[in-house]
């Protein structure tokens, strides 16, 4: 399967797609959007930028680290130039919100809240966040749709996160063996 086929299969298998701050601020993500804009448009899919992610971008734009500031500005510009494929959950932001927002908690909350209704994809280059998001699939009290986790590499390809690969391999290797009368 080519990467383009993997992306199409993954995007078309979910109803909600969320992205985190660190991914928006990578050059690989810009290439990902260039390469896949037509897919998102033709499949009527939107990439959701939660309010907390947008707030973190605002904080990074004011950073004294010029590299971080430039990457955040490039992310906001990318969103603005591709309004047809991004859904930005923004509102007026206070200085306190900008200073204290932590998007990971909101992303996990959003995934949990909508898990009972739909399959979702989180695009994140944060390993710890991807593991926590994927582990939502293991919840016993809140069953529902799948949470997929992917990251975007430096050349704009979407890849399955290691935690998803490991957990799927681990589950199949360590699955209980059912003993039938024929095997006795």
Question: Looking at residue 111, what is its pLDDT?
Answer: 94
H or E stretch at 89:
none
For residue 146, give both structure tokens. Answer: 């799948």
The answer to whether residue 103 scores a pLDDT higher than 60 is yes
Q: Which residue has the tokens 């804009």?
A: 37
| 104 pLDDT above the threshold of 50 | yes
> What is the pTM assigned to this prediction?
0.85
Q: Which two tokens stand for residue 29?
A: 């993500």
| Helix, strand, coil percentages, rounded to 5, for the chain | 55, 10, 30
Q: Give the tens place of pLDDT for each residue, 54-87.
A: 989 989 998 999 999 999 999 999 999 999 999 9
120 pLDDT more than 90: yes
pLDDT tens track for 131-153: 999 999 988 777 789 999 999 99
State the residue for tokens 């990902």. Answer: 32
Token output for 113: 């809240």
């Amino acid at each position: 399967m080519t990467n383009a086929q993997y992306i199409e299969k993954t995007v078309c298998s979910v109803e909600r797609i969320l992205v985190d701050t660190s991914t928006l601020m990578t050059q690989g993500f810009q290439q990902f959007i260039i390469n896949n804009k037509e897919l998102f448009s033709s499949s009527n899919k939107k990439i959701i930028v939660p309010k907390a992610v947008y707030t973190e971008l605002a904080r990074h734009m004011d950073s004294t680290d010029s590299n971080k500031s430039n990457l955040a500005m490039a992310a906001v510009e990318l969103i603005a130039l591709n309004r047809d494929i991004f859904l930005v959950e923004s509102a007026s932001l206070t200085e306190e919100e900008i200073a204290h927002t932590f998007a990971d908690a909101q992303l996990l909350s959003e995934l949990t809240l909508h898990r009972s209704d739909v399959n979702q994809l989180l695009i994140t280059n944060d390993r710890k966040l991807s593991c926590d998001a994927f582990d939502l699939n293991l919840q016993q009290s809140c069953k529902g749709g799948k949470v997929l986790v992917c990251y975007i590499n430096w050349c704009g390809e979407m890849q399955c996160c290691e935690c998803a690969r490991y957990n799927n391999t681990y589950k199949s290797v360590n699955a209980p063996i059912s003993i039938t009368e024929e095997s006795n």
